């Protein structure tokens, strides 16, 4: 909520702790929508979608935001974890200005005002503090720009801020870029994790949550069962190989030094604030800019999708109730081929035109896995289930990119090419 310094309704607004935000209604005030209504498919019941949209309108001003702040969606916060087993107090989030990291950071800062959240992020090309403007002056939040590969820096942060819990999201994540500069992925994803583990060991961290990916399992055929947490790791590209290597370090520190670690592996994630190098956001930004969607190969590769707020819910639950030493898959059952996803999005932008006009088939990506599939039953037993139907999340995502896609990161043209194998130019790193 916002108050003036003198307690009156006039004067300069300042941030105060939102102690009841977890119980708040959907909005404080409406703002005029400038977005075209998106027609939903019937993948989920119309009643379910209607109820969600009535409870959480897509377009509204934040009850915590002044003029100039981006729209804030109460739906994305979810709820606090009830009856937590572990109660963290000082939490370090690495990569908190990134896509998933920003959802986790906003959620923890706003729903747990009694916690202190420290966000360490290097702010490379896909990170943005704009996604955290809402909480930048929160009394229980601090942002520090820094490199997780620096041992001195990480030890200083853990000691200075008396950190007891780490949620480690910082990583290089784009598969195509890993073919162009694999050493950078090894440096950030493996060395960065190793530095953080050593600092955690020295500083007696109570809980270390390492965020990994379902790609460490490798390709999963349609005739094979979904991967469970004990499935063999078989990464097929430099990115997933570095994530698997980082996992091995995490497990080794748990077994060798008793470090209280937990590993998560999630499937593809979509939603507002995602840099458009991943397929869903890339297709949307291409269509916003009246460009074609590039289809690698024949488009039959499929992925399962989770809305980013659902992943934040999972990490929140695991931070409080996850069992030390365990691995948790975070996945959905909604699966769609790349070609069908493109058709679905083209229909929203150009409903009266042939979809083929906005498709361009190009050479397949190097070692493009056909599909991934994970079994999340272990996490479901903790009480987690994805709460966002794909069509509902997609509507929210499209609306956000229509409004912000061309201004959030500056020039995104290098991300919209079909095969971005080279490292992002330094000129685009801010």
- In the sheet that holds 327-330, the strands lie side by side as 141-145, 116-121, 90-94, 165-168, 207-213, 261-266, 327-330
Domain ranges of the chain: 74-271+307-334+370-389
**Size of the chain in residues:** 430
268-270 vs 261-266, strand pairing mode: unpaired
Annotated catalytic residue within 239, 253, 307, 401: 239
With a pLDDT cut of 70, the percent of the chain lying above it is: 81
CB-neighbour burial class of residue 161 (10 A; exposed 0-12, middle 13-18, buried 19+)? middle
pLDDT digits (tens, 9 = 90+) for 220-255: 999 999 999 999 999 998 899 999 999 999 999 999
305: which 2 tokens?
Answer: 């999708």
Helical (H) or strand (E) element with 195: helix 192-202
Least Cα distance to 60 among 108, 24, 105 occurs for: 24
pLDDT of residue 53: 54
Torsion angle of alpha carbons 268, 71, 409, 246, nearest 10°? -40
Is 291 in contact with 416 (CB distance < 8 Å)? yes
Is 99 in contact with 308 (CB distance < 8 Å)? yes
The residue assigned the tokens 């600092």 is 199
pLDDT: which is higher, 21 or 52: 52
Gap between the terminal Cα atoms of the chain: 31
pLDDT digits (tens, 9 = 90+) for 81-138: 999 999 999 999 999 999 999 999 999 999 999 999 999 999 998 899 999 999 999 9
Is 296 in contact with 232 (CB distance < 8 Å)? no
Specify whether domain 74-271+307-334+370-389 bears CATH 3.40.50.720.
yes
With a pLDDT cut of 90, the percent of the chain lying above it is: 74
pLDDT of residue 182: 84
pLDDT digits (tens, 9 = 90+) for 400-429: 999 999 999 999 999 999 987 545 445 444
401: annotated active-site residue: no
d(CA 58, CA 346): 21
Question: HSE (CB half, 13 Å, CA atoms) of 348?
Answer: 27
pLDDT of residue 366: 75
Asked if the model's pLDDT at residue 56 lies above 90, the reply is no
pLDDT of residue 63: 37
pTM attached to this predicted model: 0.84
d(CA 405, CA 278): 13
313: annotated active-site residue: no
pLDDT of residue 406: 93
Annotated catalytic residue within 124, 215, 226, 313: 215
Number of neighbouring beta carbons within 10 Å of residue 357: 10
14-15 vs 2-3, strand pairing mode: antiparallel
d(CA 49, CA 412): 32
215: annotated active-site residue: yes
pLDDT: which is higher, 33 or 271: 271
């Amino acid at each position: 909520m916002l108050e003036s310094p003198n307690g009156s309704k006039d004067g300069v607004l300042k941030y105060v702790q939102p102690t009841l935000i977890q119980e708040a209604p959907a909005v404080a005030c409406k703002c005029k929508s400038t977005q075209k209504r998106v027609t939903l498919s019937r993948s989920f019941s119309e009643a379910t979608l209607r109820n969600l949209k009535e409870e959480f309108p897509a377009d509204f001003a934040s009850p915590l935001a002044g003029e100039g702040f981006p729209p804030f969606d109460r739906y994305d916060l979810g709820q606090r974890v009830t009856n937590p087993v572990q109660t963290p107090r000082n939490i370090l989030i690495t990569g908190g200005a990134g896509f998933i990291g920003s959802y986790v950071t906003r959620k923890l800062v706003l729903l747990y005002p009694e916690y202190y959240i420290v966000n360490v992020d290097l702010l490379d090309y896909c990170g943005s503090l704009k996604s955290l403007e809402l909480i930048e002056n929160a009394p229980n939040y601090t942002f520090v720009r820094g490199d997780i590969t620096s041992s001195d820096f990480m030890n200083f942060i853990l000691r200075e801020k008396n950190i007891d819990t780490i949620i480690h999201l910082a990583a290089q994540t784009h598969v195509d870029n890993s073919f162009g500069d694999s050493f950078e992925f090894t440096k950030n994803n493996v060395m960065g994790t190793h530095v953080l583990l050593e600092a955690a060991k020295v500083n007696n961290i109570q809980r270390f949550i390492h965020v990994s990916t379902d790609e460490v399992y490798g390709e999963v055929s349609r005739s094979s069962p979904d991967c469970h947490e004990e499935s063999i790791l078989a990464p097929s590209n430099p990115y997933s190989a570095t994530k698997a290597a980082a996992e091995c370090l995490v497990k080794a520190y748990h077994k060798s030094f008793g470090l209280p670690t937990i590993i998560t592996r999630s499937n593809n994630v979509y939603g507002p604030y995602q840099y458009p190098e991943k397929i869903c956001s890339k297709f949307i930004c291409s269509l916003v800019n009246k460009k074609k969607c590039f289809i690698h190969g024949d488009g039959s590769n499929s992925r399962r999708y989770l809305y980013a707020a659902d992943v934040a819910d999972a990490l929140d639950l695991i931070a409080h109730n996850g069992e030390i030493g365990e691995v948790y898959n975070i996945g959905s059952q909604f699966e769609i081929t790349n070609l069908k996803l493109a058709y679905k999005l083209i229909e929203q932008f150009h409903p009266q035109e042939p979809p083929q006009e906005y498709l361009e088939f190009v050479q397949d990506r190097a070692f493009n896995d056909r599909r991934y599939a994970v079994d999340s039953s272990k996490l479901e037993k903790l009480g987690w289930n994805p709460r966002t139907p794909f069509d509902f999340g997609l509507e929210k995502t499209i609306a956000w990119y229509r409004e912000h896609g061309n201004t959030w990161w500056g020039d995104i043209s290098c991300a919209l090419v079909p095969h971005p194998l080279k490292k992002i130019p330094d000129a685009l790193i801010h």
